[in-house]
Amino acid sequence: MYRNDTVVPFFALLLSVALYLATYLDGQHIAQLHGGKPPHEALSEGQIGLVAFATLALIYALIGYFSAWLEGIELRPGRHVPSPGMAVTLVALLLAVVEAALSGFFVRLLLFHLTEKPVSPAAEGAVFGLMMLVGAVLLAIYKKYYLGDEVLVEEEHSEVPW
């Protein structure tokens, strides 16, 4: 019927791996030109471009796979009522507890930063990023296992103008 293929995300993932490999090989080539060690620890302009496009392709592939996981490979018309099991509920509960613990830890980091001594911004950013990832996983679980779906289709030659 209506397919949500993972062919394009697969090739985007391959492109991403190839571009990351090209970035690594470019760095090795630059190091070889400078006597075996790189001239500095920074990336060249070409490497920055390769990493940017590789990251873009990786994000595109992850979104494609995520869409196929959430919506399914083949869309079937009609209303679909989810029936979450106990395992999904326990995982969601565990992730909610982890999210609460991370947010409490993040607040403690901020308070420690304000009152005692400075905390590394990378540590604050890592905790906040982890909070956002756990929140995104919670939302995905909620969408997949707790929200009902309804797939509406129309005939190919219907009277809808588009």
- pLDDT > 90 fraction of the chain, expressed in percent and rounded: 44
The pLDDT tens digits for 71-114 are 777 777 777 777 888 999 999 999 999 999 999 999 999 999 88
pLDDT value for 158: 64
User: What is the pTM for the complete model shown?
Assistant: 0.65
Strands (E), 30-102: 74-75, 78-80
The pLDDT tens digits for 22-39 are 988 887 777 777 776 766
Helix axes 121-145, 86-115, angle to 10 degrees: 160
pLDDT value for 106: 95
Q: 141 CB contacts (<8 Å, ≥6 apart)?
A: 88, 91, 92, 95
Domain ranges in the chain are: 1-78, 83-146
Instruction: Pick the more confident residue, 75 or 5.
Output: 5
Instruction: Pick the more confident residue, 34 or 142.
Output: 142
pLDDT value for 1: 41
Question: What does the DSSP 8-state code read for residue 37?
Answer: S
pLDDT value for 139: 93
pLDDT value for 154: 66
What integer is the mean pLDDT of 114-123?
88
